[in-house]
Amino acid sequence: MTAEETEKTKKCDCEDTQRHFLNRAFETLRLDDAQRNLLLSSFRETLISIPLKVRRNGIEMLRTFTGFRVQHNHARGPFKGGLRYHPASNLNEIRALAQLMTWKTALVNIPYGGAKGGIAVDPAELHADELEVLTKRFTQKMRPLLGVHQDIVAPDVGTNPRVMAWILEEYSKAHGYTPGIVTGKPLELGGSEGRLEATGYGVATITRQAAADHGLELNQARVVIQGFGNVGSHVAQRLADLGATVIALSDARGGVLCESGIDVAAALAHVRENTWLEGLPGTETISNAELLELPCDILIPAALESVIDCDNAERIRADMIVEAANMPITHQADDILRERGKIVVPDVLANAGGVLASYYEWVQNLQEFPWERDTVFYRLEERLLRTYGEVHRLAAHKGVDMRTAAYELAIHRVSEAIRLRGF
């Protein structure tokens, strides 16, 4: 396969994977073709071009970026989902991720639908002021589609609270101060205590429960984490606090390994100083591919999609894989892992702490009444563990994997909302 073909296959993986997982749940729910088609279709898909003048070596040049927002379903509440800045972002990927948000919000039973947006851009290539203009132009063009009761944006891969603040500013120019238009924004602008850590904290909460259910206490567990961004770094920190031994970590450049355990606080300090994990004292350097195949108890992919595919699924040695990223396992790999008796805790459950905390942030904005940090974490943990229990019981009862059980619960809620509203 040429590099271009490989890239193309990878791009299609997300949609194929999503469809394959859904079909498994559709079968057990006995939905007919018409119902399946409705659930698989996007409500609206918007693609825009965003011109931007950039300066390189004193020379000004014009570049045109492509932006997307896919609003998948809003039967249960306003569209909700992140905005991703990544050079490989494309409509297929964003569509699959928008669908995943519909199931995620339904699974944790918050009154939202699902959406996802993106700009095909490498944010590291732009200066901060260029990124600000790009974000504000994206918001200008998408503004008619957004709204506190229509579509609410959040951070995702490549975006952060600062980007949310720019969206808030641009939207508020036309509508007056509207903090509830974005979640994951800075505390100073109505952000919520705990939102930044919530996804990682939630992944750790679910990991602890899933491990205990399989007879593994965290203080005995050896953990490998791929990705050291907002999600991976907080998972690592929280799991280390809970007593786990984190033996390997990685970022986009590569990984670091220390069999006796990495001091996560030291890794965070190292990255603050040096940007990358590379060269972390006391560790040996490994590649991201090697990291995924390390012998360990728990593997947590917390970076991008499709990192575990049919090429490496046979070589994964962890007993349990917890999907902190969205769709890190392709459907072919998922089949292989299941046949090999591996436990997979699916993204739709594992990383739902992020959107759950977004919901709490939005509620606080609507009520103009901020909560204490403890309240956010208490409610987050309580709801996640309740959802985990529902999924676990259904999976055991029906003899299906956790992903299929989670999708069944979510699809049932969305289908019921559609039926009752009578679209």
Interaction site with ligand GLU (CB under 6 A): 80-82, 104, 154, 156, 183, 326, 351, 354-355, 358
Could you tell me the smallest distance in angstroms from the CB atom of residue 226 to ligand GLU? 17
Q: How far apart are CA 421 and CA 378, in angstroms?
A: 33
Could you tell me the smallest distance in angstroms from the CB atom of residue 57 to ligand GLU? 35
Helix, strand, or coil here: 177? coil
Could you tell me the smallest distance in angstroms from the CB atom of residue 79 to ligand GLU? 10
CB-wise, 238 or 342, nearer to ligand GLU?
238
CB-wise, 218 or 410, nearer to ligand GLU?
410
CB-wise, 28 or 160, nearer to ligand GLU?
160
Q: How far apart are CA 375 and CA 197, in angstroms?
A: 14
CB-wise, 163 or 355, nearer to ligand GLU?
355
**302 in Cβ contact with 325 (< 8 Å):** yes
Could you tell me the smallest distance in angstroms from the CB atom of residue 397 to ligand GLU? 27
The sign one gets for the Cα dihedral 322, 328, 332, 333 is: negative
Angle between helices 402-421 and 33-40 (to 10 degrees): 90
Q: How far apart are CA 318 and CA 316, in angstroms?
A: 6
Q: Which two structure tokens, joined as six digits, stand for 114? A: 């699902």
CB-wise, 236 or 348, nearer to ligand GLU?
348
CB-wise, 120 or 349, nearer to ligand GLU?
349
Question: Cα–Cα distances in Å, from 279 out to 41, 249, 311?
Answer: 47, 12, 29
Could you tell me the smallest distance in angstroms from the CB atom of residue 409 to ligand GLU? 17
CB-wise, 118 or 255, nearer to ligand GLU?
118
Could you tell me the smallest distance in angstroms from the CB atom of residue 81 to ligand GLU? 5
Q: How far apart are CA 279 and CA 273, in angstroms?
A: 12
Residue in the shown chain whose Cβ atom is closest to ligand GLU: 82
Could you tell me the smallest distance in angstroms from the CB atom of residue 357 to ligand GLU? 7
**Block residue for tokens 């602008």:** 189
CB-wise, 248 or 355, nearer to ligand GLU?
355
Q: How far apart are CA 210 and CA 205, in angstroms?
A: 9
Could you tell me the smallest distance in angstroms from the CB atom of residue 118 to ligand GLU? 11
Integer-rounded Cα Rg, in Å, for the chain is: 21
**One-letter amino acid identity for 417?**
A
Provide the annotated active-site residues: 116
Q: Which two structure tokens, joined as six digits, stand for 17? A: 């994977």
**One-letter amino acid identity for 306?**
S
Q: Name 243's bridge partners.
A: none
Helix, strand, or coil here: 166? helix
DSSP 8-state secondary structure symbol assigned to residue 192: P
**363 in Cβ contact with 370 (< 8 Å):** no
CA 290 to chain centre: 23
Q: Which residue from 239, 277, 399, 327 is spatially nearest to 17, judged by alpha carbons?
A: 327
Among left, alpha and beta (phi > 0; psi -120 to 50; other), residue 215 is left
